[in-house]
Structure 1
Amino acid sequence: MKPAWKLNQLLGLFLESPCPLCQRSQAQAVCVSCQQQIQRYRCELVDTGQAGQLPIFAWGQYGGALKRAIAALKYEGNPHLAEILGRWMAESWRSTNPTTDSVIVPIPMHPSKKKQRGFNQAELLAQHFCHITQLPIAVYGLERIRATEAQFKLSSLERSQNLAEAFSIGKPFLHKPPSRPVWLLDDIYTTGATAISAAQTLRQHGIHVQGIIVLARTEAGMKGKF
């Protein structure tokens, strides 16, 4: 039996389906009205890292319609939303980062959680991002070897402890480390605990991590530093 989200995708090929955010009937992944509301949360894309810190390239602020869209993508069986969101990320990236000398590594999900959800939203966003930017993607550059608790439930210290030794270098990078710098890619940036842990794992194998690209930053992420 196909998962519900796959059935939704198949039906969407033949019928107008409800917008996952407002339930209005429409022929696109998200109706025009909701697209406009999401765009209101787009933020200035600047690198905020300082000496010894990773730059953060964020498309938007985590709130309102953008927060709702991320929830619909991750928890309500709407993986097709990653296409438009990944495209928006890519278009903003191309307008400010013309370089093509990078490899994109999506933050991996533990296999048990990925099996439960049916997909990894960071991987989907990265695929659509790379389709537009033409940057190479290394889906298996990192592996998540330890299941962790949901980060939103934890304090900053608990987040770091929760992610200690959660990642391992992936077999492709283990056999042949990339010659280009790596940009990590994830859906949400809060305190940086996930990015720190992932970057440390790559750096332990001599891989240069240039920064992290995210769809949205929370208020804590706006104020916090790596």
Structure 2
Amino acid sequence: MIQPHQHADQACSECTQRLGLIESGLRGVTPVRFNAAGWYRGELRREILRLRLNQDVSVLKAITFALQRTLPAKALLVPIPSWKTQKRANPLPALICRSLGRTTKTLLKRCRPTVGQHHLSRRQRLVNMKSAFAIHPDQQSWCVSATPTWIVDDILTSGATAQEALHTLKRAGLEVRGLICLGRTP
């Protein structure tokens, strides 16, 4: 279990080391520009999978502490919506947004079902995600904002989901800076 640091919402140094959290976040540009808390492996992988079940926001705050400092104060966060029914949906993108404490809008909606991607190749994932998102009709007015926007997901693997979400938001006129996530696959 992650223990918060005595002076902040960050993880203690022992937990930071055990989980492999990177002090200023893990950053990259491939397959999309991203900021992650660390590599999706070992203890961080196990903790992310646990969080899907127990949804502990205090643990998320500790994991996302470094990510919070990389975001502009006026950043707009857009969680990636799940393709599953709400009862079975992945709660982490919305919870990550909450833990980061920035303005969050559910701008994206799934406009068609997709298959689970864990057994698909990168090429198959790209085809699977093509045209999977649309702008939520109730949120059209937000799409003329000049606010720096970040999409949010729990894990960045091939980038197919992130790329499709990013393209959908950019076509709607938003300035999308990249993806915020908990883990990046090695």
Q: Which amino acid aligns with 1:109?
A: S
Please give the alpha-carbon distance, in whole angstroms, between the structure 2 residues aligned to 1:125 and 1:137. 10
Normalising by structure 2, we get a TM-score of 0.82
Does the CA contact (< 8 Å) of 1:37 and 1:65 recur in 2? no
Secondary structure class of the residue paired with 2:154: strand
Q: Is the 8 A contact 1:187 1:215 kept in 2?
A: yes
Check whether the contact 1:54–1:210 (CA below 8 A) recurs between aligned residues: no
Give the counterpart letter for 1:124 in structure 2: L
CA distance in 2, matches of 1:203, 1:175: 14
Partners of 2:103 and 2:124 in 1: CA distance: 33
User: Which one of 100, 103, 109 corresponds to residue 129 of structure 1?
Assistant: 100
1:121 aligned partner, one-letter code:
L
Cα drift, residue 181 of structure 1: 1.8
Pairing 1:97-108 to 2, within 5 Å after superposition: 97=71, 99-108=72-81
Give secondary structure in 1 for the equivalent of 2:95.
helix
5+ residue gaps, structure 2: 4-10
Query: 3-state SS of the aligned residue for 2:155?
Result: strand
Equivalent positions of 1:198-217 (< 5 A) are 198-217=165-184
1:142 equivalent among 102, 108, 115: 108
Query: Offset at 1:123?
Result: 0.9
1:92 equivalent to 2:66? Answer: yes
Aligned length: 175
Question: Are residues 1:64 and 2:42 paired?
Answer: yes
Per-residue deviation, 1:153? 1.1
Alignment-mate amino acid for residue 143 of structure 1 = K
Distance 2:26 2:54 in 1: 29
Q: Counterparts in 2 of 1:8-87, with a 5 A limit?
A: 30=1, 32=3, 36-37=14-15, 39-40=17-18, 41-43=20-22, 45-49=25-29, 54-74=32-52, 77-80=53-56, 82-87=57-62
Structure with more of its chain in strand, by fraction: 2
Q: 2:158 aligns with which of 191, 215, 220?
A: 191
Alpha-carbon offset, residue 156 of structure 1: 0.3
Deviations 1:99-148 (A, max 9, x none): 213201111112x433224x522111211222xxxx2111x211112222
Unaligned runs of 5+ in 1: 1-29, 220-226
Q: In the alignment, which residue of structure 1 is the partner of 2:137?
A: 171
Higher relative contact order (CA 8 A, sep 6+): 2
Distance in 2 between the 1:93 and 1:55 partners? 14
Amino acid of the structure 1 residue aligned with 2:94: E
Shift of 1:45: 2.3
Deviation at 1:83, TM superposition (A): 3.4
**Larger gyration radius, structure 1 or structure 2:** 1
Aligned partners of 1:149 and 1:186: how far apart in 2? Answer: 17
What secondary structure does 2:150 align onto? Answer: strand
Hey, which of these two has a bigger chunk of helix by percent?
1
